[in-house]
Amino acid sequence: MMIDLTGRTALVTGSTQGIGYAIAAGLARTGAAVIVNGRSTSSVDAAVERLRGDVPDGTFRAAVGDLATDEGAHSVIDAHPDVDILVNNLGIFGAQSPLDIEDDEWRRYFEVNVLAAVRLIRAYLPGMTERGWGRVLSIASDSAVVIPAEMIHYGMSKTALLAVSRGFAKEAAGTGVTVNSVIAGPTHTGGVEDFVYSLVEKSLPWDEAQREFMRTHRPQSLLQRLIEPEEIANMVLYLSSPLASATTGGAVRVDGGYVDSILP
């Protein structure tokens, strides 16, 4: 199955590392010009340099801006006004006792994980619909469906992202633009390694720590291991392509069977 996105421009938010980086690399390999986003010039420049090493034939552009703020979002949108594929990957997570989460932290999770995506969809969807083609994808989480007791604020934000995607899919009905969310399961990234070690014994070697984390905190996973970022990226590439033209308004799972349901 060949995916060719030559001539398309993709913006991947939060793409200097982890899942976002894997998505950026994957889209570049399909021929798309990829806009790499992060909050600092140094992080974006480093990611672009690394991406050019990983995908020598790829086309990459820098987009520095904190998308959780109006100013940062407008700076990215003004610099890159036309996007064919929008991947809302930006997100924060962390474990915290539910009764200790203050109002400001609830607001921060909503601003970063939900409102940043809304801003960009609102900006880019009209151009996509006018051109009669576009893809909007938001990276959600199994935590949207199976709310984790140790990070309710994160789960709340990802549940909201599912609603946002479904609603904007209705706005784009009949235009040739598809809007979907991707429910990612527990994924192996640098940030997740830190998260795992916050919940298991820090002296354990990584392989043992990973198994202990899955056994103790994610026992319902059918995969019984952390997902690699490239496995999430593979689904994003498909949903970004013309092959997925009949898939819209969906919450598509790449969760390793974590969510114990036939449907999300």
The mean pLDDT of the chain is 96
User: Catalytic residue at 154?
Assistant: yes
What does the pLDDT look like over 49-91, one tens digit per residue? 999 999 999 999 999 999 999 999 999 999 999 999 999 999 9
Res. 194: pLDDT tops 90: no
Spot the catalytic one: 21, 109, 124, 154. Answer: 154
What does the pLDDT look like over 85-138, one tens digit per residue? 999 999 999 989 999 999 999 999 999 999 999 999 999 999 999 999 999 999
pLDDT score recorded for residue 58: 98
DSSP string, 217-262: H-TT-SS-SPBPHHHHHHHHHHHHSGGGTT--S-EEEESTT-S-SS
Res. 20: pLDDT tops 80: yes
Distance, CA of 188 to CA of 190 (rounded, Å): 7
Coil, helix or strand at residue 60: strand
Res. 4: pLDDT tops 80: yes
Angle at 184 between CA 182 and CA 188, to 5 degrees: 145
Say what the pTM is: 0.94
What does the pLDDT look like over 195-234, one tens digit per residue? 899 999 999 999 899 989 999 988 999 998 899 999 999 9
Q: List the one residue out of 152, 145, 149 whose CA is nearest residue 183.
A: 145
